[in-house]
Structure 1
Amino acid sequence: MKREQWSSNLGFLLAAAGSAIGLGNLWKFPYIAGSNGGAVFLMLYLVLLILLGTPLLLAEMAVGRATRLNAIDACRAIHPRWGFVGAAGVVGAFVILSYYSVIGGWVLKYLFAYMQHSRLGDADAYYTGFVTRPLEPVLWHLLFAACCCGIVAFGVSKGIERISKIFLPVLLLTLIAIGGYALTLPGASQGLRFLFLPDFSQIHSFSDFASILVRAMGQVFFSLSIGMGTLITYGSYLDRKANLQKNAVLIPLFDLVIALLAGIAILPCVFSFGLEPSAGSGLLFRSLPYVFDHMRGGRWLAIGFFALVFLAAVTSAISLLESIAAFFIDHLHWNRIAAAGLSTLGFALIGVANSLSMGLWNSFTLFGMSLFDLMVFLSDNVLMPIGGFFLCILASRIWGFSSMLREISSNGQYAIRFPGALRWILRWLAPAMILVIFAVSLF
């Protein structure tokens, strides 16, 4: 069976950027930055994006394009005993989708709620009342999962690429419009100062600094889908002549721009209305609805915003689903519809349990965490760092650095930029940083 390909490098870039630009930027980045010192977090995030994000993305794309296989079989093709690296990524994608789809369902709920009503009333009570219900959140979660399944079932160029070409430009324009409006609000400058001017007075110990560093690394991994096999899978559909180095710079750059635009759109609103930037994961669903309900034209702004978040969530979710489906297509020779459908069924069933853990099953805990929180912990603190660590070893040592450079250069077509620095980062710096931050996050 002939392997699918992107119709163009632009199609790949938009799909890969869509994978990076998702709930990690619009839901997670503003509240993580708000809870971890604003500009201090942003500074560490930028450093880790350069030192970890770009080299690891480059390595993943090189492995995928060289082998033309899904994440598990690609790693196994480099060394028969190293398929576990890809397997950790696929399992990580599965775990993330099981709660990511639940949040995607919440986004859909809020979008349709604002289409029906001009105000939601008490935002905190509305959120709590919704997520603790036994049935409604599950139905929205299943609807979001079905949307992702339908797109992936259409294939790489006709499904994922086509949707990304439409969604990404719309997402960017909508976010710019919302950010521009947010900057006109009284007190918006406080939000900008919080995001861009570091205040080190809040860091009282190494523990405080380490905590922010861990969250910054988790955000880099989560947002760029590092260690989940996504870019290995997407890279396997790339043309041999594509410039991997250019792509590895542009994808994190797109991700950073969207994250900053999200911060500019959300944090000035939060400060303008006297809300707490450290509101946590409820910032999107508790604080912002309060803002929308108390501003002129807020209903239409809310519809535009939640439509934007939905588009971003879908483009990321389909990349995770594709990395799972690709294994069943390549390894078990399933047709695409069956692979997408059964993969969706698997994560959707676990997602039902995750949704119920917010309400009906909230008394059930494992390791002191609800099922939903446990899935977040496993993906952010265990599976992604493990996948990233062993990917560094696999690409730079097991495969061989010269073999990786040959693939990155497209057999000498493109000059390698800073090969010495890349070698040092992948062999020494990135694994050491991941190990240290991984240990700090666990203990």
Structure 2
Amino acid sequence: MVLVFIREGKCVKIETNQNSLQLEPKASDSFTSTGFILAAIGSSVGLGNMWKFPYITGMYGGAAFFLIFILCLALVGLPILLAEMVIGRGGRGNAVSSFHNLSKTKWWGYFGFLSVLSAFAIMGFYAVVAGWTMNYAFTSLTGNLFENPDYTASFLSFAGGNMPIFWTIITLIITCWVVAKGVAGGIEKFNKVLIPGLAVILVILMIRALTLPGAGEGVEFFLMPDFSKLTAESALVALGHAFFSLSLGMGAMLTYGAYTSKKQSLGKAAAAVAGGDLLYAFVAGLIIFPTVFSYGIAPGQGPGLAFMALPAAFAAMPLGNLFGFLFFFLLSIAALTSTVSLVEVPNAYLMERFKWSRAKSATIVTLIIFAISIPASMSMGILSDNLLFGKTFFDLLDFVASNIFLPIGGLVVTLFTGYAWKRAGEEAGLSGFWYNAWMFCLKYIAPIMVIVIFLYSIGIIKF
């Protein structure tokens, strides 16, 4: 049965059956099928897979680590990803109200509020790092990046100064503008342009990396497994990255799911997003490892690999300023598609909670994030000695969001979908073997693994 009523002067369609009342979002507030998948991929393929994945792969054994990452992605990442999408579309609300709409209790919504808090915390430092990538893209193109061969000193001087605040402002202005334009007119159009562009740049950089002298050694390191290097710690790191690389536990996929039509196959969409995330990580490896091996850079250098080590490789490379620009511009694109999804989480909550317009809500969210990002950026410089709980403000935001809020948020999603909400399979469109496999992962595998991630992250499990 189909009902039509008037909301805010617009005709809105409701599809009903004997068991549910399902609101279809307005066309201006909904994704097309392709737009939803591209936006979800854009949310997942952030800085993590291009910046973090290569160095943790280098630290924990190359190809053997990558295989464990794939296994974790299939058993933990994909089931929780689908569960978030299902909750969002079933609840047709923000990260808080979707739980309430489906459970009819406030308690699940309280847990959902962690997603709103985590989005603010993550954006507080993520916007700063996104600004770094923009600066490096600009200075690569102009050649200024390569004037001082001491790239470690150059990065520390830049990150500890005032310029990152300027680039953070640029990041937040672009993000706010996209979110304020709406779902179809802003977020979807933005991702439809940037995600294909990102793919083109990935291919160009991969071809350049694979044709460097000595690139084969890097490819071998990445693709030839050495299982003797695998440890329990490396397996946990792979599990944690599989969880975080898909933007799980932060409400982004849940919020995007609320803008998705009932005609969209969520199972196929989740598989496409997980596949896109995996492909992005794979190509990132084929860019980073041939490059670092070609120029004698240690592949496990840590977070400074992108900003301190790779500029040396670009400086020695023919047309290095061009390829350096493409690399850091790629990072900028990946960062922006993620910042948009992160800002939309609290934006959706505030719009619904206070009945604000999208533009007003996006502006207020952006201003709050900017206020958080200033001390985060300054903690790399003049505030570096001001520690909270033994951490700089930048590191504290990262620790609280990544190690506390996100695992708890992911655990709530698994427990709610696996145990509390009985219509999850119907909303997901799964039955038979695939439904049973999904439920088994959500009930027994994913919760245990997320708890292990949480205990390892906060230091209770040690090696």
Length-normalised TM-score, structure 2: 0.90
Matched, 1:185 2:212: yes
Deviations 1:201-234 (A, max 9, x none): 335xxxxx23223322332222211011111110
Closer/same/farther in 2, CA of residues 366 and 198 from structure 1, 3 Å limit: farther
Are the equivalent residues in 2 in contact too, given 1:120–1:289 (CA < 8 A)?
no
Closer/same/farther in 2, CA of residues 27 and 120 from structure 1, 3 Å limit: farther
Closer/same/farther in 2, CA of residues 363 and 7 from structure 1, 3 Å limit: closer
Matched, 1:153 2:184: no
CA distance in 1 between counterparts of 2:397 and 2:224 reads 33
Shift of 1:87: 1.0
Matched, 1:352 2:374: yes
Are the equivalent residues in 1 in contact too, given 2:175–2:339 (CA < 8 A)?
yes
1:312 to 319, 326, 334: 334
CA distance in 2 between counterparts of 1:376 and 1:430 reads 23
2:22 aligned residue:
none
2:425 to 405, 428, 439: 405
Structure 2 letter corresponding to 1:390: V
Structure 1 letter corresponding to 2:204: A
Structure 2 letter corresponding to 1:44: I
SS at match of 1:296: coil
CA distance in 1 between counterparts of 2:389 and 2:223 reads 37
Counterparts of residues 271-420 of structure 1 (less than 5 Å): 271-400=293-422, 403-409=423-429, 418-420=434-436
- Tell me which moved more, 2-11 or 135-144: 2-11
- Tell me which moved more, 214-223 or 145-154: 214-223
Are the equivalent residues in 2 in contact too, given 1:405–1:416 (CA < 8 A)?
no
Shift of 1:46: 0.7
CA distance in 2 between counterparts of 1:438 and 1:215 reads 11
Closer/same/farther in 2, CA of residues 255 and 232 from structure 1, 3 Å limit: same
- Tell me which moved more, 261-270 or 71-80: 71-80
1:76 aligned residue:
100
Are the equivalent residues in 2 in contact too, given 1:121–1:293 (CA < 8 A)?
no
SS at match of 2:165: helix
Are the equivalent residues in 2 in contact too, given 1:5–1:239 (CA < 8 A)?
no
1:166 aligned residue:
193
CA distance in 2 between counterparts of 1:427 and 1:415 reads 16
2:452 aligned residue:
436
1:206 aligned residue:
none
CA distance in 1 between counterparts of 2:270 and 2:141 reads 39
Matched, 1:111 2:137: yes
What is the aligned-residue RMSD (CA, Å)? 1.5
Matched, 1:200 2:220: no
Deviations 1:77-99 (A, max 9, x none): 22321112311112112111111
CA distance in 1 between counterparts of 2:229 and 2:153 reads 31
CA distance in 1 between counterparts of 2:232 and 2:118 reads 24
Shift of 1:385: 0.9
Closer/same/farther in 2, CA of residues 424 and 353 from structure 1, 3 Å limit: same
1:31 aligned residue:
55
1:132 aligned residue:
160
CA distance in 2 between counterparts of 1:178 and 1:112 reads 17
SS at match of 1:71: coil
Shift of 1:416: 5.6
Are the equivalent residues in 1 in contact too, given 2:31–2:259 (CA < 8 A)?
no
1:218 aligned residue:
240
Deviations 1:291-350 (A, max 9, x none): 111111101111111111111110111001111100011121110011111111111211
Q: Give the total of aligned pairs.
A: 431
CA distance in 1 between counterparts of 2:298 and 2:248 reads 30
Length-normalised TM-score, structure 1: 0.94
Structure 2 letter corresponding to 1:344: T
Structure 1 letter corresponding to 2:169: L
1:422 aligned residue:
438
**Structure 1: 5+ residue stretches without partners:** 204-208
Deviations 1:44-72 (A, max 9, x none): 21111101111111111111111110011
Closer/same/farther in 2, CA of residues 416 and 289 from structure 1, 3 Å limit: farther
